[in-house]
Structure 1
Amino acid sequence: MTSSDLTTGAEAPPDTGLTRQEASACLEKYGYNQLPTPPMPGVLELFARQFLSPFIYILMIASGISFALGQNPSGVFILIVLLINALIGTVQEYSAQKAAAALKQMMKGTAHVLRDGQIITVDVEEVVPGDTVLLSSGDKVPADIRLLSASSLAVDESMLTGESLAVAKNADTHSEDSTPLTERADQCFAGSIITHGRGRGRVIATASETQLGKIAQGVTGKTSAEPPLMIRIRKFTYQVTFGILAAIAALACLMLLDGSYSLEEMVLMTIGLAVSVIPEGLPAALTVALAIGMSRMARLNVIIRKLVAVEALGSCTLICSDKTGTLTVNELTIRKVMLPDGRQFDVTGEGVAPGGEIQGLESTDPDTLRELCVAGVLANESHLDYSGGEWVSQGDIVDIAFLVMAKKLGMSISELRTRQEQIALIPYESEKAYSGVVNRIGDQTLIYAKGSPEKMLAMCDRMSTTDGATAIDKAALEAQFNELASRGYRIIALARKTSQPGDHDMTDMVFLGMVAMIDPLRHEAFEAIEKCRAGGIEVAMITGDHPATAKSIALELGLCDADATVVTGPMLEEASTRGQEAVDQLTRQARVFARIEPARKAQIVDSFMRDGHFVAVTGDGVNDAPAMRQAHAGIAMGKRGTDVAKETADLIVTDDNFSSIVAGIEQGRVVYNNIRKVIGLLVATGFSAILLFFFCVLAGLPMPMIAVQLLWLNLVANGFQDVALAFEPKEGGELSVKPRSPHEPVFDKHIIEHVLVVGSWMGLVAFLNFQWTFEQTQNLEEARNLTLMLMVLFGNIHALNSRSEFRSLFRIPLLRNPFLMLAVPLAQLAHIGAMYTPGLSDVLQIQPISLQEWLQLLGFALSLLVVEELHKVLIRRRRARAT
C-alpha cells in the first residue's frame, strides 16, 4: 500500500487521527504490520528430501534386487543404511530451520498513535495505514510515514541506506515515489531511529509495502547462490555415479565374455560392486565435519545458522564488506582540531568511550581549545553518561562526538551546562546548516553556534587567537577546510558571540575553529584485511556513504590506490542500461563502491559471481540483506546487526569483529581439508574393491565379498574412522595459501592420484590374498572372511595415514586427534566382536580367525604404510619444486 492507495483512514484529521472502528477496519483489510517470514518445510518434507541423490537411487535398486533374489540380509542392511543417513540429514536441516525461526523479527515494540483524538500506545503490529503517529527522540519508526509536522527532527537511516550520519527531516518538502530514499526529507521509514527532535506523520505503508518490507520480501525467497560445498559434492556425486555405472557395465561384459557365471551370480556381483563403491559413510562424515567446524567457529565468535556455511566461508575468494559498523565503528569521532591561527591537533581514541587524548598540547593551547569545546558542548542536545560499566550515549552522533572530546580535555559537561542559564535553543535544520544556543551569565548574553564551515564563516567577522579576537582570514580557513574535506572528513565549525540581553542576532560572531570527524576504522580491520590478502582473498567495500569518505577509508585500509575510481550507484545504473557486460566491466577491477542502494549491492554481488568469484557479503543493516542473500555466504554483525540482516545471514559474528571473519575463514578451510581427507579415504577403499572384483572376474574366481560384508566394511569397520578423521585439527598455514579455484572439483587430480596409488595397492594385495586362500582351502567363506579382515586392517592403516595429504604420519603427534586414536582400535575390535556374536556373524558370514592369521594379515596391511609414505615424499618434492 502506498500513499496514493490510502482510503478512509487517509482523510482522518491529523489532530484526532483514526477512530477505533476505522483502525479495526484497516487492520482487517491490510493485515498486521509484520515483516514476511519464509515458509518452513515440515519434518516429512525434510525427510523425503534426503532420498534425492543418485547414490540413494542406486542403493534402493540394489536393495530391491537383493530381496528379489532372496538375499534378505543384504536388502535389509541396505535399507537400514538409507534410513540412518536420512535421519541424520533430517535432524541437521530441522535444527538449522529451528534456529532461523527463533530469530526475532525486525519490527517490534510499541508506537504512539492518535485514535479518537487521544494519544494511545499500541503494538507496532497494530499500526495501520492512515494512522497518525507521534515521533520523538529515541523512537523506532513503526511504519513508512509522511510527515505532517517536524521540529528539529533527525533520523538515523543507516540500516536502510548505509549513510552513517543522521538525516534532517522537513515536513514542508514533497517527494515523489521515484525520489531516492536518501532525498525523501518529508518521509520516515520503518525501522529507522529518531536521533533527536519531534514529529508527527501519517502512515502511508505498513508490513510488506514499507521500504523495509520490500527488502525483506527479496530475502525470504530461495537464494540464487548454491553453497560451494554443495556444488562440489554434487559434481563429485555425479562423477562417482557415472563411474559406478561404467564399472558395472564393464564387469558385466567381462562376466558375459567369460561365460562361466550364472545370471544370479552376475547380478549379485554387480550389486556387490555398486555397494562397495558408493561412499555410504560420506553423509554422516560430512555432517560431523561441518558440526565440528560449527563448534570451533562458535568459540571464535562466529555463529553458524546453516551447516554448509561452515565450508562456504572457507571457500570464498572475495569478501564484499559494508563500511558502516563493519569496517568502521559506526560512531563519529573527532580526529583533528584546527584553530584559526593554523595550529592543528590530532585526537586519539574512537567511539563514545572518552579514552584517548588531544596530542601536541602546549601551555598556551588549553584556553583556546576550551573555548571551542564549550561551544561544542553547549550548542548540543545529546547526553553522555557512564552506566553499567560502560559509556552510554543518546542523541545525534555529531553532538556526542563533541561531548567525548570535552571529556578528553578533562572538562565536566554537567558543570558547563549548569553554570550558564539557557535562554533559547536553536535546533539544527538542514536549511540553516547550523545549530546554536543562547545562554545567560549575569548581565551578559552568550551565543554559541556550530555547523557547516561555509555557514559559520559567513556569520563571523573575527577569529579567536592567542592574542584575542583578530580580523578573520577566510581564504586561509577555506583552504584548510577544503583540504580536510577532500580526505573524507566531515568538518564542523564553531563560533561564539557575547552580546547584550535581548540581542540574539547571530552575525558578527567570533570564529573559534573547526573539527574534522570521521567514522573511524576498527583497529582490528587492518590486520584482518592483511590476512585476507595473504590468503589470496580480495576485499571490496560497498557503502551508501559519500564517495570521498569511502575512498578515504579504502586508502587507509589499502583496498585501493590514490588513482582508483570509486564506482557509484548512478554509474552502475548507467552501465545497467548497456547490459550485463558493461556492469561486469565496471565492477571487475573496482574494489570501492559508494552511494549504493540495496538493489545495487545485490547487482554488484551478482557481477562478481559471474566473474568467477565465490562471494561472502558482510553487513549489519537491512540494506545489506539482499546482497547477503544473493552471495555464497552472508555474514551479519551480531551486536549492531538488524534482525533482518541476522535472519538473512548464513553466519553471525557475535563480536562485530572483522578479524573473527578471518578466523572463520581459516576454520572453513580446515573443514574442507578434512572433508577431502574423508573422501580420499572412502573413494580409495571403494576403488580397491573395484579392482578386487575385476581381478577376480579376470581370474575366473567367485565374488570375493558379498554385499552385506561390503556394507559392514564401509559403514562400521571404516565408519568409526571416517567420522573421527573429521575431528582433525588444523595443520597450520591454511591462511598462507590462495583460496581454491571456484571451478576446482573436490575430486581433483591430487585425490585421483591418491586413490590410484593407495586403492591399487590395497586391491592387488587383497586379490592375491583371496586367490591364495581360496586355492589353498577351497573354502569360499573362509577366503571371504580373511579378505574382509585384511580390508578392515587396510582401513585402519589408511585412516591413520589420511591425517595429512603431504605430511608424514611420523611427524604428526598421535594425540592431536584423540578421536581417531580411539576409532582405529574400536573399528578393529568391532569387527573381531562381530566374529564372536551369534546372529551377526551368521548375517555377515564371518567366523573367528587365529592370532597367527591375524598377524600375517597385519603384515600385509602394514605394506600400505610404506607405499603411502613413499607417495608423500614425491608430493613434498613436487611442492618444493613448485615454490
Structure 2
Amino acid sequence: NEFRAERAVQALFRLVRTRARVRRGKRVLDVDSEEVVPGDLLLVESGTRVSADLRLVESHALRVDESLLTGESLPVDKECARVLPEKAPLAERLNMLFAGSMVASGRGFGLVVATGMRSEVGAIAGQLAAVPREPPPLLRRMERFARVIGVAAIGLSALLVGMGSLRGEPLGELLLGAIALAVSAVPEGLPVGLTVALAVAVSRMARRGVVVRQLPAVEALGSCGVIGTDKTGTLTRNELTVERVVAGGLSCEVTGLGYAAEGSLVGRGKPVLPAEHPRLFRLLRAAALANEGSLSRRIDDSEGWEWSGDPTDVALLALAMKGGLDPVELRDVHEPLAELPFEPERRYAATFHRDEAGGLTCVKGAPERVLEMCTAELDDAPESSGMRPLDREQALAQVDALMREGYRVLAVAEAEASEPLEPGAAPPEPSELVFLGLVAMTDPPREGVTEAVAACRRAGIRVVMITGDHATTASAIAVRIGLMAPGEAVVTGEEIAALDDAALGERVADCVVVARATPTDKLRVVRAWQQAGELVAVTGDGVNDAPALRQADLGVAMGRAGTDVAREAADLVVTDDDFSSLVAGVEEGRVAYDNVRKVTYLLISTGAGEVICVTAALAFGLPVPFTAVQLLWLNLVTNGIQDVALAFEAREPGVLDRPVRPTRERVFDRIMIERTLLGGAVFGVIGFAAWLGYMNEGRSVPEARNLMVQLFVLFEIFHIGNARSERISLFRLSPRRNPILLFGTLAAIGLHVGALYLPFTQKLLGVAPLRVDEWVTLAAMAATIVVVMETHKLWSNRREPAPAEATGIRAGGRG
C-alpha cells in the first residue's frame, strides 16, 4: 500500500514537471518547472501546462481546463480583474491558475504564489500520502476465520491428547490421532479454492469492462453499500449535446447524443424541418457560422465521427447537421471575413461574412449580453421573414426556465447588411442585431445509467453523486437518472467546510448529491460514511479524486479519461468509464462472494465430518479411522479438485436483488453455520457408525480404513451438488451450468479409481479395489447427505422465502 501511495504521488508530480517561461527582471527565461519559485512572473499560452499556482496579472481570452482538479468538463474563462471573496471555492477562483491545469486557449501571465507541496496539487499529494489503507473486507473476514479454525484445531487436538493420557493410552497413538485431527480440521484446499474463485471473477469482470488491480477487491465491490460516483464522464457522456432549441414560439427537442451528427429536431411529437421555419433555419445557420470547431465522419470508419475545437462549438455544429445544414457548404456560401473570438469580458463571439446579398454578422454568447445588442426578432409565422420588436422580458423568462432545468443556455442572433465588412478592417462590436433564439445544451447521461441506478437501488446500494460542478447542473442530471426527486436538497462544498465531523456524518447520511466538492470535501464525506459503518466504493478520474479513491474501501478509476494518479490510487479500473459497467462489476463481486462461500462450505463441512468421525473414534478408544496421508488425499485431491472447479459456478438469478451484506457479517452466517454443522454431522455420524461396525465385525484396521476412504470419497461426490447453491435444489441445477465442475468431478473420480489399482498409490494410501456390492452399500450410505441437505434447503426456503427470481433457474442456462 505504501508503495502504491508513493507511485500515485510520483504520478501526481509528473503532471507539473514541464518547462516554464518566467519573467525575472527584464529577462524572459525558459526554465524547468522545478526552478519556478514564488515571486516569479509565469507566462502561459494555449497548450501550456501550468507549473505553479499563480494570481493572474494580465489575461487575453484565457480559458483553462481545470478538470483534473475540479472535475468540471468545460474550460473555465479566467479574468485577471475579477475580485473574489476570501473563501471562494477552488472552482470559482477565476483570477487564479493552478499547477497541473492546461491552458485551452488565450494567453496571460501571473505572479507565482505557491509551488510544490504548497500548491493545490501539492496539498492533494499530501492528503494522498497520508491516507492509510485498510485490508479489503474479504481478507479481514478470512483472517478472523483462519484464527478460529487454527485455535479450534490446536485446542481440540490438545484436549484429546490430554484425555487419552489420563486414560493411559500410548503417547504415540495419541500423537498420530492428534495429527489426523489437525489435518481434518484444517481446510488445506481453501487457499487455492479462494484464489481460483477470485481469479475467475477477475476474468469475468474484465469481460464486462472492469479491470481488477488487487485480487481481494473483487469481492469488496459486491459488498459495498455506498457508491460515491463522479458525474462527468461516468454518469454522463462528457460530450456537450444540444437538447432544446427555442426560436420564438417554436420549441424543439433535439434527438441524438454526443458529438455525432445523428438525430433530428422534433416539435410536439412531429419532425421539424428547418427549411419550413425561416427563424429556425437562420438560427442553425448562425450557430454553424459563428463557430471555430470542426465535425465530420471519420474517413476510415463510416460509423464514427471526429471533431476538434471547443466543446460548445462542436455541439452547435452537430445541431446544425441534425437540421440538415452542411457547415462546410455554409462557409463556402458565406465567406468568412473577420471574427471577434469569445473572451470573458466580451461574453460573446461574432463572425463577419460576405455573400451574394451583401454582409452577414453571426453572434452567439451569454443570453443577457446578446439580448443587449438586439433590437428586433423574426416573426414566428412559417414562410414569414418579417420583423417585430424584441420582447426582451419574454426571452429572459425562457432563459430562466431553461437554466432552472440545468441547461447551459446560449443566445443566437444575426444582422444583415447591404455591404460586407471591408477586408482587413477591424471588426466592430455588433449592434442592432436580430434575435433568433436560444440553444440549451447539457452533458447528457450515458445510455443505461438510469437502469444501473435503479439496479443499485434494488440491490440496497446507495448511489451518491460527488462532483465539482454547480449544484443546479448536478441536481438536474440526478433527477434525470432517477437519483433524486425534483426539489430535493443538494449538499455543497461550502456547507461541508462549515461542519465538524459529527455534524457532517448526520448531513451526508441520506444525501444523494454533493456539489462543488473539493478534494478535501470528498475525503471527509467518504470518512463520514465509513465511520457510520458503511463499506464505501468511490469512482473518479482526476487528480482531485485521488485522496478519496485511496481512502475508500474500494477505489474505482476511469480507464479512458482517468489520470495515472487516479489509476495508481485505485483498486479497480473501469475501461469504458461507464457507470453501468461498475454495476455489472458489483454483480460479479456478489457472484464471487457466493462462490467463496460455496468453496468454503464444501471444504469446512467435509472437514467437520472428518473431525467428528476421528474425535468419536478416539473418544471411544478405537483406532483412528484415517491416516494423515489418507486425509490429505481426501482434502487436497478428491475434494480439492472439485472445490477448485466449484469456483467456476455461474451466477444465480436475483443476485442484484439481495440486500447489502452488513460490513461486520462473517463468512459463516446463520444459514452457513446450520448447513456446515448439519453436513458435518451427517458425514461424521454415518462415518463413525460405519467405522464402529467395521471394528465390531472384526475387520483389520487397514481394510476398514480402505472402506472409510471410499465412503468419504463418495460423500464428497454427492456433496458437491449440495454446495452449488444455498437455496436451489441440486436437481434443478443442470451440469451444463458449470461444465468445469462436471469434468472436475469426473477427473477426481478417475484419479481415485486409478489410485485404487496402481501399486505405488495402493501402498502410499493404504487403499485397494472393492467389490460391486461394497460400492453399492457405500453409495447408499453416502447418498444420505443429499436427502438431508435437500430437506434443509426446503425448510430454509419456507422459513425465509427468497425473492421469486432468486429461486428459479433455467435447466440448461448459464445464469
**TM-score of the superposed pair, with normalisation by structure 1:** 0.82
Deviation at 1:632, TM superposition (A): 2.1
Aligned counterpart, 1:334 = 242
Number of the residue aligned with 1:194: 103
- Match for 2:524 among 592, 598, 603? 603
Q: CA deviation at 1:442?
A: 7.6
Q: What is residue 493 of structure 2 aligned with on the other side? A: 569
- Matched residues in 1 for 2:401 and 2:430: separation? 27
Q: Which moved more, 1:615-624 or 1:165-174?
A: 165-174
User: 1:525-536 alignment to 2 at 5 Å?
Assistant: 525-536=449-460
Is the 1:720–1:827 contact (alpha carbons within 8 Å) kept by the matching residues of 2? yes
Structure 1: runs of 5 or more not aligned: 1-36, 42-96
More moved, 542-551 vs 654-663: 654-663
2:243 maps to a residue whose letter is: R
**What are the superposed Cα offsets for residues 51-91 of structure 1, whole Å, 9 maximum, x if unpaired?**
xxxxxxxxxxxxxxxxxxxxxxxxxxxxxxxxxxxxxxxxx
8 Å contact from structure 2 (residues 474, 513) kept in 1: yes
Which stretch shows the higher mean deviation, 357-366 or 440-449? 440-449
Quote the residue 2:190 is aligned against. 282
Cα distance per residue 1:679-730 (max 9 Å; x no partner): 1111111211221122113311122223333223211221101101001111
- Distance in 2 (alpha carbons) for counterparts of 1:416 and 1:118: 47
Whole-angstrom CA distance in 2 between matches of 1:433 and 1:504 = 15
Secondary structure class of the residue paired with 2:233: helix
In structure 2, the CA distance between the partners of 1:160 and 1:697, relative to structure 1 (3 Å rule), is: same
- For 1:468 and 1:527, locate their aligned partners in 2 and report how far apart those are by CA, in whole Å: 47
Residue of 444, 452, 455 corresponding to 2:369 = 455
1:550 to 474, 481, 505: 474
Secondary structure, in 3 states, of the residue corresponding to 2:692?
Answer: helix
Equivalence map 1:330-479=2 (5 Å): 330-339=238-247, 341-360=248-267, 361=272, 365-387=276-298, 388-389=300-301, 390-441=304-355, 445-466=359-380, 467-479=385-397
**Where does the alignment leave 5 or more consecutive residues of structure 2 unmatched?**
805-815
Partner of 1:711: 632
Amino acid at match of 1:691: I
Q: 2:3 aligns with which of 29, 39, 57?
A: 39
1:23 equivalent in structure 2: none
Residue type matched to 2:171 in 1?
Answer: L
Is the Cα contact below 8 Å between 1:105 and 1:644 reproduced in 2? no
Contact residue 331 and residue 520 of structure 1 kept, 8 A: yes
Equivalent positions of 1:77-92 (< 5 A) are none
Q: Counterparts of 1:153 and 1:206 in 2: how far apart (Å)?
A: 21
Cα contact 1:420–1:440 (8 A) shared by 2? yes
Q: Is the 8 A contact 2:23 2:43 kept in 1?
A: no
Higher mean alpha-carbon deviation, 357-366 vs 345-354, is at 357-366
Letter in 1 for 2:254: V
Once residues 306 and 881 of structure 1 are traced to their aligned partners in structure 2, the CA distance between those partners, rounded to angstroms, is 32
TM-score, with structure 2 as normaliser: 0.88
Residue 144 of structure 1 contacts residue 187 of structure 1 at CA under 8 Å; is this kept in 2? yes
* 1:782-814 CA distance string (max 9 Å, x none): 333322232222112111321111222221111
Residue by residue, what CA displacement relative to the aligned partner does 1:2-56 show, whole Å, maximum 9, x if unpaired?
xxxxxxxxxxxxxxxxxxxxxxxxxxxxxxxxxxx96269xxxxxxxxxxxxxxx
Q: 1:365 to 1:601 in 2, by over 3 A?
A: farther
Partner of 2:577: 656
1:632-651 equivalent positions in 2, closer than 5 A: 632-651=553-572
Structure 1 residue 394: deviation in Å? 2.2
* Secondary structure of 2:799's aligned partner: helix
Instruction: Report what 2:464 is aligned to.
Output: 540
The match for 1:588 is 509
320 and 809 in structure 1: CA distance in 2 versus 1, 3 angstrom threshold: same
- Deviation of 1:319 (Å): 1.6
Report deviation, 1:748: 0.7
501-510 or 652-661, which moves further after superposition?
501-510
Native 8 Å contact 2:274 2:323 kept in 1: no
Q: CA deviation at 1:289?
A: 0.5
> 1:505 Cα shift?
3.8
Give the partner amino acid of 1:574: A
614, 620, 624: which is aligned to 2:535?
614
Q: How many residues align?
A: 785
Opposite residue 349 of structure 1, the aligned amino acid is: G
Cα–Cα, structure 1 residues 433 and 732, in superposed 2: closer, same or farther, change >3 Å? same
1:295 aligned onto 2:295: no
Secondary structure of the structure 1 residue equivalent to 2:3: coil
Distance 1:101 1:129, change over 3 A: closer
Task: Kindly indicate whether the alpha-carbon contact (under 8 Å) linking 1:127 and 1:143 is maintained by their aligned counterparts in 2.
Answer: no
Offset at 1:525? 0.8
- Give the counterpart of 2:779 among 836, 848, 858: 858
Counterpart among 731, 751, 757 of residue 830 in structure 1: 751
> Does the 8 Å contact 2:17/2:34 carry over to 1?
no
By how many angstroms is 1:151 displaced?
A: 2.5
- The within-5 A match list for 1:492-503 is 492-498=410-416, 501=421
- Equivalent in 71, 94, 103 of residue 162 of structure 1: 71
Q: 1:365 to 1:628 in 2, by over 3 A?
A: farther
Letter in 1 for 2:349: S
Is the 8 Å Cα contact of residues 127 and 142 (structure 1) preserved in structure 2? no
Q: Matched residues in 2 for 1:417 and 1:236: separation?
A: 72
Query: Deviations along 1:388-439, whole A, 9 cap, x unmatched?
Result: 4332222222222211111112222223334445454322222332222344
Q: Which amino acid aligns with 2:635?
A: N
Give the aligned partner of residue 733 of structure 1.
654
Distance 2:23 2:180 in 1: 76
The structural deviation recorded for 1:103 is: 9.9
Using the TM superposition, name which of 763-772 and 286-295 deviates more.
763-772
Task: Note the C-alpha offset of 1:202.
Answer: 7.3
Alpha-carbon contact 2:376-2:432 (below 8 Å) kept: yes
Instruction: After superposing the two structures, state which structure 1 stretch, 635-644 or 762-771, moved more.
Output: 635-644
Residue among 135, 148, 151 paired with 1:239: 148
From the superposition, tell whether residues 263 and 312 of structure 1 become closer, same or farther in structure 2 (CA, over 3 Å): same
> Retained in 2: the 8 A contact 1:207–1:213?
yes
Contact persistence 1:137–1:395 (CA under 8 A): no
1:166 is displaced (CA, Å) by 1.4
Counterpart secondary structure, 2:514: strand
Q: Is the 1:171–1:186 contact (alpha carbons within 8 Å) kept by the matching residues of 2?
A: yes
Q: What SS does the corresponding residue of 2:229 show, helix, strand or coil? A: strand
Aligned twin of 1:308: 216
Provide the residue aligned with 1:480 in structure 2: 398
- Contact (CA 8 Å) 2:290, 2:349: kept in 1 or not? yes
The structural deviation recorded for 1:847 is: 4.7
Structure 1's 834 and 221: CA in aligned 2 closer, same or farther, altered over 3 A?
farther
One of 248, 265, 275 as aligned partner of 2:157: 248
Deviation of the 1:144 alpha carbon: 4.8
User: Are the aligned partners of 1:687 and 1:760 in contact in 2 as well (CA < 8 Å)?
Assistant: yes
Indicate conservation of the 8 Å contact 1:254/1:697, yes or no: no
Shift of 1:205: 6.2
Within-5 A mapping of 1:782-801: 782-801=703-722
Structure 1 pair 817–121 and aligned structure 2 pair: CA distance change class (3 A): farther
Partners of 1:102 and 1:818 lie apart in 2 by 46
The 5 A counterparts of 1:99-138 are 107=15, 113=21, 135-138=44-47
Q: What is the CA–CA distance in structure 1 between the aligned matches of 2:37 and 2:498, rounded to whole Å?
A: 35
Q: What residue identity is the alignment partner of 2:71?
A: G
Give the SS at the match of 2:262. coil
Q: Residues 224 and 777 from structure 1, CA distance in 2 versus in 1: closer, same or farther, beyond 3 angstroms?
A: same
Gap change, CA 1:362 and 1:352, over 3 Å in 2: closer
- The alignment-based identity, stated in percent, is 42
Hey, what's the Cα distance between the residues in 1 that align with 2:88 and 2:11? 33
Partner Cα separation in structure 1 for residue 572 and residue 767 of structure 2: 48
Aligned residues: CA RMSD: 3.4
